[in-house]
Each structure stands twice: as structure tokens, then as C-alpha cells.
Amino acid sequence: MKNKKLVKMDINFLEYPNWTVAGRSNVKSFTIEKPHGTYHVSTTEKADRLPDRVDKMVLYSLLLSKKKNIKTTRYRIAKAVFGKDAPFYYDKVILALERWMWIGIKFEGTFYEGDGHSKRGFHIIDNYKLIPKDKRGEELTIRINSDFFKQLEETGFFKYLDFEEFKKLRSPVSARMYEIFSKDFKERDIRKIDIMVLAEKLTLNCKYPSEVLREIKPAIREINKNTSLKFTMDYDPEKKLCTFTLIKSEGKDPFKEGPSEEARKLLLMLPESLRRQQSVKELVANYHS
């Protein structure tokens, strides 16, 4: 996890999207009906549409600070998200803040906390304030919604997402699939899902499985090429069922390149069954690195 920009994300917000892959369309709401609940996302007439992939990158860049009240500049956000510095990107930053400010989320059902049936409603960003000066000296303050922030801070059901990997995914469908399967492969290697249920999670407006397949096949290729998350897909047309299988990386043995003497001694103190485990070797090696 060294040198990685990891965003702590509640599993509920990976399971249920708070942005859309619809791109330049004027989509302003969507609803997901599940056996254990109803999830509704909408925005107001003041907003042009729901947040998109770029807006989600801006939000993730803010959440990296782990602060509810953020003081920053458009320059810093633009550099973190786009890697560039220009008025065009400053406008995108402000547009993203506006979209996250106007969005509202309602949920009725069972969240992953296991606290039973509940009704919830919240926003993502409460407000922002920009005092323009020069590009590096301006003051931009942003307040993350208290309920949303508390959920991220206190949840026991979360996944760390690699911000830099997320940014590499140019396709909105790829980015959304990365969120979904980062969660799904957290504790299992195989995920089976009805293809139209997957389309709903992806916020795809598709009527037929063939349309969904045209969207997700290139997305899988992009994820496998640009991130550490790698998986395959098999599709059963009769059952309309997708089977996704995680490709496990073998990883290199950190002790083959010569561990420190302290790390070797610590490893030898452990039972043989633990010494053989790659995760234990990496933990010991990193502790003494």
C-alpha cells in the first residue's frame, strides 16, 4: 500500500452508484429496486445532470484528504485529477462541486451495516466557497456532508480504491465496473450475476443482453490492461448469467531478494504454516523495510 493514493469507500456506495455512465446526456435521476431495498438518486433543476466519471474523480480527490472541511484551490484539484493546469480544468472542478452539491440520495431497505431496515437520505457536498485570487493563492473551501462523511469514517464495511488506477480508466463503464468488482472480489474469487442486473448497477440504459455485452467486454479489457484488478468473464446466454473470475497474481517473494536479518529472525519465530503464506511474508518484510 506504499506510495498509493487509497480512498476509503463504504461498500454501499460501491454497490449502489452515486454517478452515471450516461456521459453527456441530461439524466437527472435513476432508481434501483432490489429485494432488500430501493435506492434513488436525483438532482435538482438547478443542476444540468447527475455526476459523471470526471466528477467522481474530483470527489475521490477530495476524500483522499480524510477531512470533512477542506481548504484547497482549483489548481490543486485540477493537478490531482487531470494532471494539468488551465482555466478549462478549473471550470470542470467547479462544475463537479456543483453537481455533488445538488445531488440527493434516498435509500429504504437494508444497508451492509446489518442494523436492519432503515430509511436514509443525504447529500454528498453541503457547500463550497471560492474566493478567486491568483491560481495558487485563491481560497476554495468545501464542506462534505456530515452524514456521508460519518458513513465513510465509521463503516465496518469498506474497500480501499486506488485513485491512480481509477483515473487511468477512460471509459465510464470501465470506471464503474472497477468500483463494483473491487467490492465483489474483496472476499471471493467468483461472482455470478444476471446480465441485466449488472446493467442496472452500471446505470446502463440497455434493453437487451447483447447491448450490455457490447459495453462490458471492452471495459474488462481496459481494466485488465490498466489496473491491478484482473478478471475474466463467461456468459451463459440461456440463463443470461455472467460469471466473473478473479485472476490472482502470483506476486514475488520479498525474501528471495534478501530480507533484513531482523525480518528473517521474526519470520523464523512464526509457525511453519504461517511462514509459507505470501501475505505474512509481505507483512513482515514491509514492517522491517
The CA distance from 262 to 250, in Å, is 25
Fold observed for domain 171-249 = Arc Repressor Mutant, subunit A (1.10.10)
Compute the distance between CA of residue 69 and CA of residue 47 in angstroms, rounded to an integer.
23
* Domain boundary assignment for the chain: 1-168, 171-249, 253-289
Q: Is 245 exposed, middle or buried (0-12, 13-18, 19+ CB in 10 A)?
A: middle
Q: Work out the pLDDT band at 1, boundaries 50, 70, 90.
A: very low
- Helix 74-81 with 87-102: angle, nearest 10 deg: 90
Averaged pLDDT for residues 81-92 = 94
Can you read off the three cell numbers belonging to residue 16? Answer: 449502489
pTM: 0.83
Q: What is the pLDDT of residue 138?
A: 87
3-state helix, strand, coil in the chain (%, to 5): 40, 25, 35
Contact yes or no for 85/79 (Cβ under 8 A): yes
Tens-place pLDDT, residues 24-49: 678 899 999 887 789 999 999 889 99
Does residue 44 sit in helix, strand or coil? coil
* pLDDT tens string 227-279: 999 999 999 999 999 999 999 876 544 444 444 566 666 666 666 656 556 65
